[in-house]
Amino acid sequence: MPDLATLALFCAATLAILLVPGPAVVFIVSRSVAQGRTAGLISALGVHAGSLVHVAAATLGISALLAASATAFTVVKYAGIAYLVWLGVRKLMRGGGGEEIAEMPHQSGRRMFWEGFVVNVLNPKTAIFFLAFLPGFTNPAAGPVAGQMLVFGLVWVVLGMASDGTYAMLSSALADRVRRSARARRRLDVGSGLVYLGLAAWLTAEKA
């Protein structure tokens, strides 16, 4: 097990990374603004359920395989890009709905959870990040390295849920204002679509 000093250093480094808004935060905030606090929190839960997959993969050494195989990296990368493009196009193609005030389209909690999960799991950069980040805090003298990586990974997920959950709750303050206007809702659909497409472009532009 890692000692308390190392664990504290890991927590400080993790919070410094999490508090800088990245693609996952943009994804969660857009959901929270679109459908309210619960939607944002469920999306955050899905994203960090995906983080658990990457933690397990890093612990078991699967991420090392992904890093070593250009083909595997490319397949996973473009599967994630294709999914984000599909989400973005679906949002952009949604009808405007005129000027009437109506309820926003409802998405089930299960669907929101799985979209967040898939977006994170299909991001190979997250896999590589965990592989690069977690081992730096391990110490073979403190016990099995895999066990230490698992502890650090679980701490990351807990802190990530706290950070992204805060983003979701703060951004949901805009939800009621948006729901009052069909035009604003249409603009939000367009904005959300552009967010998804932007995430896809970001993944495409990143160097392998």
State the total domains in the chain: 1
Does 183 map to a domain? yes
Does 66 map to a domain? yes
Read off the pTM: 0.70
Does 84 map to a domain? yes
Full domain range(s) for residue 142? 4-13+23-205
Task: Say how many C-beta atoms besides its own lie within 10 A of residue 134's C-beta.
Answer: 24
Per-residue pLDDT of the chain (208 residues; tens, 9 = 90+): 777 888 888 898 888 778 766 678 778 887 887 778 888 899 999 999 999 998 998 888 766 666 677 676 667 667 767 877 887 888 788 655 443 333 445 667 788 899 889 888 887 767 777 877 777 788 777 877 788 888 999 999 999 999 999 988 887 776 666 555 556 566 666 776 777 787 677 667 754 4
Does 147 map to a domain? yes
d(CA 146, CA 29): 33
d(CA 192, CA 172): 14
Residues 6+ apart with CB under 8 A from 55: 130, 134, 149, 150, 153, 154, 156, 157
Does 72 map to a domain? yes
Does 131 map to a domain? yes
Does 182 map to a domain? yes
Does 18 map to a domain? no
